Amino acid sequence: MTRRFLNYIDGKWREPKSEQWFQRENPANGEAIGSFPNSGPNDVSDAVGAAVAALERWQMTPAPRRAEILFRVGEMMVARKEDLSRDVTTEMGKVLKEARGDVQEAIDMTYYAAGEGRRMFGQVVPSELPNKFAMAVRQPHGVVAAITPWNFPLAIPCWKLMPALVTGNTVVFKPSPYSPLSASNLIALLDEAGIPPGVVNLVFGEDETGAALVEDPRLNMISFTGSLEVGREIGVYCARNSKRVHLEMGGKNAIIVLDDADVELAIEGAVWSAFGTSGQRCTAASRMIVQKPLADVFAEKLVARAKGLRLGDGLDPQTDVGPVVNQPQLEKIQQYVNIGVGEGAAIAYGGSRPDNGELAKGYFFQPTVFVDVRPEMRIAQEEIFGPVTDIILCSDLEEAVRINNNVPYGLVTSIYTRDVSKAFKAMERITTGIVYINAGTIGAEVHLPFGGTRGTGSGDREAGQAALDSYTEWKTVYIDYSGRLQKAQIDLE
């Protein structure tokens, strides 16, 4: 019998008032994982109400005490890392070694946020008047909605929940319907660690559930990671209704390979960045901008490596590339491949589903390399979110940077070169939020800001000290102990 999962509201696991459910299956083989609530407006309202009721008490809980709960969650994740990792692979397909990385990032973020419970630095500055003290401190926004995607089903929720919780916010968490199992695992850990009722709440559901959550007037902030189209809708709604908003919305990332690069190192980075997680990362490298003298060699080597990648169930240790997440994503990738061919690009390798009978049970797509790609083509401008990458030629560093910057997104760029002056020029001129030198386009570290420019986001950042800014407001405090009225700038004349 299929396992049935429940929402988590006000410290209790609850069946949905909507009485609606959706099924989730393993994308590698179609086997059932479980059924999850397709929550309705009443379920969302209950979750938000619980978060509102818990807010004052949680805000008044000393930050170090809040942090102790997160630390316990981190310890539990360490102890159960393998089970959590296998569940990540089972529900969204990435190979097990990558799933372990997903869980490790969740652990790192949880520990980092817990450490902020004893810091959470503000500002103390000299006052311009005598006998007056001036400082700025942080205060939480209030009730935060965390809406997360399926591709990093533990790491991204921890990027949002842990900073939000340690800074004193309460949270309503809605995960993607394509990765609900890991979300349930995470909330179970918080519950076991002793999070007070109502401080964190979990509602499963599809698009209508998310819309009901966004539109609840009691929410103070919405933190969303997902598609550009949905993010823009949320951003417009929040602007009209004076809600704080934090958006992370994808990328069209590039690896620039100059003619003085270490080619083998660049190929390693290209394979990992383009085809890891089946290209289902916002940081995936779907463009290779290669200087012309190196282009033929680079293309030949990249195609050879793509041909050698083994597709299969992510739990199989022999697998290099797992399935994509579902049938609609599979169809979207194929549509983009057809668009690329129609635009005049050539497929050097891949371009379709594998014809292996065993792989036909899952949502697999061949690692795909396009050549003869022009920068203005749709496959070079739009996010595909699959194991597809383009080789685009450039004449020099200046042209490479122009091509890199001229897309709707601005998340991450990598450049391979042995010339330190070119590396520094690239760092100055590339307009993405993250830049790698002689490394691929993935591998964020939780103590540095993560996010991008242009259509990638709203300007806020995940992780690092920047996460505290995302989930808090500044409150400026003046203490005048002069015993008389001081009229600020007037008294300075």
Q: Is the pLDDT of residue 488 over 90?
A: no
Least confident piece of the model among 147-151, 338-342, 442-446, 489-493 = 489-493
The per-residue pLDDT for range 337-379, each reduced to its tens digit, is 999 999 999 999 999 999 777 898 899 999 999 999 999 999 9
What was the pLDDT predicted at 412? 96
- One domain for residues 161 and 299: no
pLDDT digits (tens, 9 = 90+) for 149-172: 999 999 999 999 999 999 999 999
Give the Cα separation of 489 and 476 in Å (integer): 17
Per-residue pLDDT, 347? 98
Tokens 């979750």 label which residue?
A: 47
> Is residue 258 situated within a structural domain?
yes
200, 228, 249: which is the final residue of a domain? 249
**CATH number of 298's domain:** 3.40.309.10
Q: What's the confidence (pLDDT) of residue 493?
A: 61
Residue 119 lies in a domain: yes
Q: Which residues form the catalytic set? A: 248, 282
In a shared domain, residues 293 and 338:
yes
pLDDT of residue 152: 96
> Which among 111, 105, 106 has a CA at the least distance from the CA of 68?
111
Range of the domain at 203: 7-249
In SS3 terms, the chain reads as CCCECCEEECCEEECCCCCCEEEEECCCCCCEEEEEECCCHHHHHHHHHHHHHHHHHHHHCCHHHHHHHHHHHHHHHHHCHHHHHHHHHHHHCCCHHHHHHHHHHHHHHHHHHHHHCCCCCCEEEECCCCCEEEEEEEEECCEEEEECCCCCCCHHHHHHHHHHHHCCCEEEEECCCCCHHHHHHHHHHHHHHCCCCCCEEECCCCHHHHHHHHCCCCCCEEEEECCHHHHHHHHHHHHHCCCEEEEECCCCEEEEECCCCCHHHHHHHHHHHHHHHHHCCCCCEEEEEEEHHHHHHHHHHHHHHHHHCCECCCCCCCCCECCCCCHHHHHHHHHHHHHHHHHCCEEEECCCCCCCCCHHHCCCCCCEEEECCCCCCHHHCCCCCCCEEEEEEECCHHHHHHHHHCCCEECEEEEECCCHHHHHHHHHHCCCCEEEECCCCCCCCCCCCECCEECCECCCCECHHHHHHHHEEEEEEEEECCCCCCCHHHHHC
**226 and 258: one domain?**
no
Burial class, 430, CB count within 10 angstroms (exposed 0-12 / middle 13-18 / buried 19+): buried
Question: pTM for the full model?
Answer: 0.95
Final residue before a domain boundary, out of 187, 220, 249 = 249
- Does residue 237 share a domain with residue 109? yes
Tell me the residue length of the chain. Answer: 493
Same domain, 192 and 137: yes
CB atoms within 10 A of CB 68: 14
The residue type of 307 is: K
Does the pLDDT at position 424 exceed 70?
yes
pLDDT tens, position by position, 390-406: 999 999 999 999 999 99
Over range 224-243, report the average pLDDT.
Answer: 94
Show which of 249, 277, 296 is a domain's final residue: 249
Residue located via tokens 């008490």:
57
Lowest mean pLDDT among 325-329, 419-423, 487-491: 487-491
pLDDT of residue 356: 77
- Residue 492 in this model has a pLDDT that exceeds 70: no
Q: State the number of CA atoms in the 13 A half-sphere of 98 facing the CB.
A: 28
Q: Are 404 and 254 spatial neighbours (Cβ–Cβ below 8 Å)? A: yes
Question: Alpha-carbon Rg of the chain, whole angstroms?
Answer: 24
pLDDT, tens digit, 9 for 90 and up, residues 58-109: 999 999 999 999 999 999 999 999 999 999 999 999 999 999 999 999 999 9
Shared domain check, 300 and 198: no
98 domain-assigned? yes
Distance CA 317, CA 305 (A): 18
Tens digit of pLDDT for each residue in 276-287? 999 999 999 999
Please say whether the beta carbons of 93 and 278 come within 8 A.
Answer: yes
242 and 283 co-located in one domain: no
Q: What's the rounded mean pLDDT across residues 313-341?
A: 96
Report the CATH number that the domain containing residue 58 is assigned in CATH. 3.40.605.10
474 domain residue, yes or no: no
For residues 472-488, give the mean pLDDT: 94
Joined tokens for residue 199:
């401080």
In the chain, what percentage of residues exceed pLDDT 70? 99
Produce one character per residue of 433-461: b if its CB has 16 or more CB atoms within 10 Å, e if not: bbbbeebbbbebebeebbbbbbbbbbebb
Based on the fold, state whether residues 235 and 276 are members of the same structural domain: no
Establish if 213 belongs to a structural domain. yes
Same domain, 212 and 353: no
* Residue 172 domain-assigned (yes or no): yes
Q: Rounded mean pLDDT of 259-283?
A: 97
Please state the domain count of the chain: 2
Q: Is residue 477 part of a domain?
A: no
For residues 184 and 283, state if they share a domain: no
> Can you tell me the distance from the alpha carbon of 98 to that of 85, in angstroms, rounded to the nearest whole number?
9
**Average pLDDT along the chain:** 96
In a domain, 156, yes or no: yes
265 and 207 inside one domain: no
Residues ≥6 apart with Cβ < 8 Å to 276 = 98, 284, 442
Is residue 241 located within the same domain as residue 106? yes
- CA gap 98, 88 in Å, rounded: 9
